């Protein structure tokens, strides 16, 4: 499998990259980790005439906490997220997610920015970002702007990024006291896209009641989906087995799966229900200080 011809650009700053995107227009495509784009080019499902490789831009690979946010540079590799002690200890839901994306070799190249900017509802980060209520930073000719994650995914492979904007950073609020999150993925084999995946974050108040909940769903609709009704049902109540089961049911209802080789719509919906229960249960344990 051989990609079509293209002109290759390797800007060394974000500004340069944005200027290239602006001047080259629709023919241009940003190359980040390339683990989705390059196979698509080899299958000639994507044939960009201009390829803008942003891997040479310094300063976009970082994981740090500042001003109440965890900020992750767009070029941060999945492997680095997976292995980060900060992530493992304080953001286990992110570790859950990065750990199950593709395989170790792909994770060495694949980036969090690419995973989100691709806009593929089958990718794993989007649901998790919904659950942690992240925002992404888009940098364009007029500088940077923050986009709330709920406003980011517009349709299949379509995001709120303008054609000449680059996703440069992911911002995640530092978890509140008493909160815990988990990502649970059902897959046909290791590294495959999910049959279904569920990311859940819960916050417990001093009485053990759920003061906030958020749930994101992977690969069960045209975009990653927030299970809003399930979140509402949980909020303000004790996280009992029954309450979690009911949230599972509501999350299943919120999903919009279609039948394909990964499973029937009926099965996927049932799995959203099951995985939501598992994710919430694990999130609760973590909120209570467990693993």
Partner 1 sequence: MAQQNITIKVNGTDQAAEIEQRLLLVHFIRENLALTGTHIGCDTTHCGACTLILDGKAVKSCTVFAVQADGKEVLTIEGMTTNGELHPLQEGFMEEHGLQCGFCTPGMIMSSYALLQENKNPTEAEIRWGISGNLCRCTGYVNIVKAVQYAAQKA
Partner 2 sequence: MTELRTSAEIGGMGHSVKRKEDPRFIRGRGNYVDDVVRPGMLYMAIVRSPFAHAKIKSINTEKALAHPGVAAVITGATLKEYNLHWMPTLMSDTQMVLPTDEVMYQAQEVAAVIATDRYSAADGVALVEVDYEPLEVVIDPFKALEPGAPLLRHDKEGQKDNLIFHWEAGDKAATEQAFRDADFTVKQDIYIPRIHVASIETCGIVAEFDAVEGQLTCWMTSQAPHAHRTVFALVAGHVGLSEEKIRIISPDIGGGFGGKVPIYPGYVIAIAATVVTGSPIKWIEDRRENLQADSFGRDYHMTAELAASKDGTLQALRIKTIADHGYTDAACNPSKWPAGMFSIATGSYDLKHAFCEVDGVYTNKPPGGIAYRCSFRVTEAVHAIERLVDIMADDLGMDPAELRLKNFIPPEAFPFKSVLGWEYDSGNYAGALKLAMEKIGYQDLLKEQKEKREKGELMGIGICSFTEVVGAGPSKDFDILGLKMFDSAEIRVHPTGKALVRIGVQTQGQGHETTFAQIVAEELGIPVDHIKVEHGDTDTAPYGLGTYASRSTPVAGAATAMASRKILDKARKIAAHLLEVSADDLEWEPGKFTVKGVPDKVSTIQEIAFAAYTNHPQGLEAGLEAISYYDPPNLTFPFGSYICVVDVDRGTGEVKIRRFMAVDDCGNIINPMIVEGQIHGGLTMGMAPALMEEISYDEEGNMRGGSFMEYLMPTAMETPSWETGKTTTPSPHHPLGAKGVGESATVGAPAAIVNAVVDALSHLGVRHLEIPITPEKVWRAIQESGN
264 binds, among partner 1, partner 2, none (CB under 5 to 8 A by kind): partner 2
Estimate the crossing angle of helix 265-287 against helix 241-254, to 10 degrees: 140
**Shortest gap between Cβ of 17 and partner 1 (angstroms)?**
15
Beta-carbon count within 10 A of 104 CB: 11
**How many Cα atoms occupy the beta-carbon half-sphere of 188 within 13 Å?**
8
Q: Is 88 in the site for partner 1 (CB under 8 A)?
A: no
Binding site for partner 2 (CB under 8 A): 1-2, 4-5, 43-44, 103, 186, 188-192, 195, 261, 263-264, 267, 270-271, 274-275, 278
261 binds, among partner 1, partner 2, none (CB under 5 to 8 A by kind): partner 2
Among 274, 96, 119, 134, residue whose Cα is nearest residue 214 = 134
3-class SS of residue 268 = helix
Q: Is 42 in the site for partner 1 (CB under 8 A)?
A: yes
When the beta carbons of 45 and 66 are compared against partner 2, the nearer one is 45
Out of 109, 133, 145, 278, the only residue in the binding site for partner 1 (CB under 8 A) is 109
Out of 38, 243, 245, 270, the only residue in the binding site for partner 1 (CB under 8 A) is 38
Q: Which residues of 181-209 are buried (b: 16+ CB within 10 A; e: fewer)?
A: bbbbbbbeeeeebbbbbbbbbbbbeeeee
**How many Cα atoms occupy the beta-carbon half-sphere of 255 within 13 Å?**
34
Residues that bind partner 1 (CB under 8 A): 1-8, 10, 34-35, 38-39, 42-43, 51, 53, 55, 79, 83, 102-106, 108-109, 190-191
């Amino acid at each position: 499998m051989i990609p079509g011809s293209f002109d290759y650009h390797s800007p060394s700053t974000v500004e340069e990259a944005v200027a290239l995107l602006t001047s080259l227009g629709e023919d241009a495509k940003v190359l980040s980790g390339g683990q989705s784009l390059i196979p698509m080019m080899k299958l000639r499902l994507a044939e960009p005439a201009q390829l803008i490789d942003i891997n040479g831009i310094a300063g976009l690979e970082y994981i740090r906490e500042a001003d109440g946010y965890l900020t992750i540079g767009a070029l941060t590799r999945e492997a680095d997220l997976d292995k980060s002690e900060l992530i493992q200890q304080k953001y286990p839901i992110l570790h859950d997610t990065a750990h199950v994306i593709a395989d170790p070799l792909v994770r060495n190249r694949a980036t969090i920015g690419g995973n989100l900017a691709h806009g593929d509802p089958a990718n794993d980060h989007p649901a998790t970002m919904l659950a942690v209520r992240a925002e992404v930073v888009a940098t364009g000719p007029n500088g940077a702007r923050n986009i709330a994650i709920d406003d980011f995914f517009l349709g299949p492979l379509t995001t709120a990024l303008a054609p000449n904007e680059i996703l440069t950073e992911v911002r995640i609020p530092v978890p509140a006291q008493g909160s815990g999150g988990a990502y649970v993925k059902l897959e046909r084999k290791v590294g495959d896209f999910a049959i279904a995946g569920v990311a859940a974050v819960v916050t417990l108040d001093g009485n053990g009641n759920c003061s906030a909940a958020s749930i994101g769903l992977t690969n069960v609709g045209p975009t990653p989906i927030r299970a809003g009704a399930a979140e509402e049902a949980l909020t303000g109540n004790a996280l009992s087995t029954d309450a979690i089961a009911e949230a599972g049911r509501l999350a299943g209802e919120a999903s919009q799966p279609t039948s394909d080789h990964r499973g029937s719509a009926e099965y996927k919906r049932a799995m959203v229900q099951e995985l939501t229960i598992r994710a919430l249960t694990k999130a609760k344990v973590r909120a209570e200080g467990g693993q």
